[in-house]
Structure 1
Amino acid sequence: MGNCASSKTKSIKRRDRQPPPAVTAKVIHLDGSLEEHEGAVRAGLVAARSPGCYLCASEAMEVGAHPPGVAEAEELQPGQLYFLLPVSSSCHPLSLPDLCILAIKASAALRRGSATLLCSRGTNN
């Protein structure tokens, strides 16, 4: 009536596999550079290194809304993407072109993959 075919594939364990990269909090700077934080770091510390800027979580950004800043005492979350934005941008609602520019900037930074990795293990600065 009908034909049925089946095959089994063997899973091959490779010894040369490297461990998966650590999940980091990623910060996109105004110039498009990428900074990654491995471990606990507070938003205030990151923002303090970029005078005139504040930190905004990408998840909180919406068209027509003012980009909310991350509280200075809040720790950056691994796996999340943040933007350093000029303080002046907090006074204006985000437009669709604004968000598109940020998305392009983030995409380019992530594609380049050359990031400054900062380890903050055991510190809550």
Structure 2
Amino acid sequence: MGACLSSQSTKQSHQTRECSKGSSAATVKIIQADGKLREYKEPLQARLITSQNPSFFLCSSESLSIDSCPPQVAEEEVLQAGQIYFLLPLACAHKPLKLHDLCDLAIRASSVIGNDGGEILSADSKFILS
């Protein structure tokens, strides 16, 4: 986890709602490189996120380990509700993670998830990192 933080979408309107403490357990959680949390209320393919963020990749929080490069989620993989994913810059894809990187990502995740600071979106919602 780290200092290295880094859709085929139709023209449908954003459907955002405020998070409530009980509602986020069954959502796909994506922590963006800017530290913001996005939650999707239904399953979606990774390509929906990565196509809108071409210089980033998704990785599952469960697949991160010390001295290993963060494994990229395959474009066709369906992101799972209840899981936390990180959107990281492609520059981090071939850099083994160090302990301090994992700690940084864990802190980032715990601060936004425990904070109810995200938005719950439908899979057709569009967002682009700046």
Normalised by the size of structure 2, how large is the TM-score?
0.74
Q: How many corresponding residue pairs? A: 102
Give 1:51 shift: 2.9
Indicate the SS of the match to 1:91. Answer: coil
Structure 1 residues 45-91: Cα deviation after superposition (integer angstroms, max 9, x where no partner): 11222231000000000001010000000011000000000101011
Q: Distance in 1 between matches of 2:82 and 2:114?
A: 16
Q: Distance in 1 between matches of 2:51 and 2:106?
A: 24
Given the alignment of the two structures, is residue 80 of structure 1 paired with residue 83 of structure 2, yes or no? yes
Q: Distance in 2 between matches of 1:85 and 1:74?
A: 17
Give me the identity figure in percent: 40
- Name the structure 2 match of 1:109: 112
Given the alignment of the two structures, is residue 31 of structure 1 paired with residue 59 of structure 2, yes or no? no
Indicate the SS of the match to 1:97. Answer: helix
Larger radius of gyration between Structure 1 and Structure 2: 1
Given the alignment of the two structures, is residue 70 of structure 1 paired with residue 73 of structure 2, yes or no? yes
- Name the structure 2 match of 1:42: 45
Normalised by the size of structure 1, how large is the TM-score?
0.76
Identify which of structures 1 and 2 has the higher relative contact order when contacts are C-alpha pairs closer than 8 Å and 6+ apart. 2
Q: Distance in 1 between matches of 2:49 and 2:123?
A: 11
Q: Distance in 1 between matches of 2:108 and 2:82?
A: 18
Runs of 4+ aligned structure 1 residues displaced above 6 Å come to: none
Give 5+ residue unaligned stretches, structure 2: 1-21, 125-130
Q: What's the C-alpha RMSD, in Å, of the aligned pairs?
A: 1.5
Give 1:119 shift: 1.8
Structure 1 residues 11-39: Cα deviation after superposition (integer angstroms, max 9, x where no partner): xxxxxxxxx52600100001110000111
Q: Distance in 1 between matches of 2:114 and 2:43?
A: 24
Give 5+ residue unaligned stretches, structure 1: 1-19
Q: Distance in 2 between matches of 1:108 and 1:56?
A: 19
